[in-house]
């Protein structure tokens, strides 16, 4: 499924380009990841609350695996949730290596070993 086909409230699962990533803090000082996921058809904003890794801004331009639900916020689609796989949680893993670092040739790891809770 392509990002252009995803509707509000629909589950999203797949490997996408991490077009942008930045680690930020809320007003209360809690960490979160803000970014943008893309495929050849569209882009969607990414917000991961209570985030502590493994994806960092160094992974921008890499393929990442995600699973979660797309919602609308202020008229824009976004994949948002808390780190973890429980209710409201997002699965988020590096598609390029177990540590979240790109493989030497920049292609996704065919073993599918990478992953973890976002």
Q: What is the pLDDT of residues 64-82, one digit of tens each?
A: 888 888 888 888 888 887 7
Residue 99 banded pLDDT, cuts 50, 70, 90: very low
Predicted pLDDT at 83: 67
pLDDT beyond 70 at 98: no
Mind giving me the DSSP string for the chain?
--GGG--TT-EEEEEEEEEEEEEEE-TTS-EEEEEEEE-SS-EEEEEEET---S--GGGTTSEEEEEEEEEEETTEEEEEEEESSSTTEEEEEESS-TTSSPPTTSS--TT-----B-
The pTM score is 0.70
């Amino acid at each position: 499924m392509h990002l252009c086909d995803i509707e509000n409230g629909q589950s999203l699962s797949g490997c996408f380009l991490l077009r942008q990533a930045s680690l930020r803090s809320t007003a209360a000082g809690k960490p979160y990841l803000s970014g943008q996921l893309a495929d050849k058809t569209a882009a969607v904003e990414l917000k991961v609350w209570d985030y502590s890794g493994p994806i960092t801004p160094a992974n921008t331009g890499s393929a990442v695996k995600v699973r979660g639900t797309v919602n609308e916020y202020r008229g824009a689609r976004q994949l948002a949730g808390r780190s973890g796989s429980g209710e409201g949680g997002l699965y988020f893993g590096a598609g390029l290596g177990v540590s979240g670092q790109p493989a030497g040739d920049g292609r996704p790891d065919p073993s599918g070993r990478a992953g973890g809770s976002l």
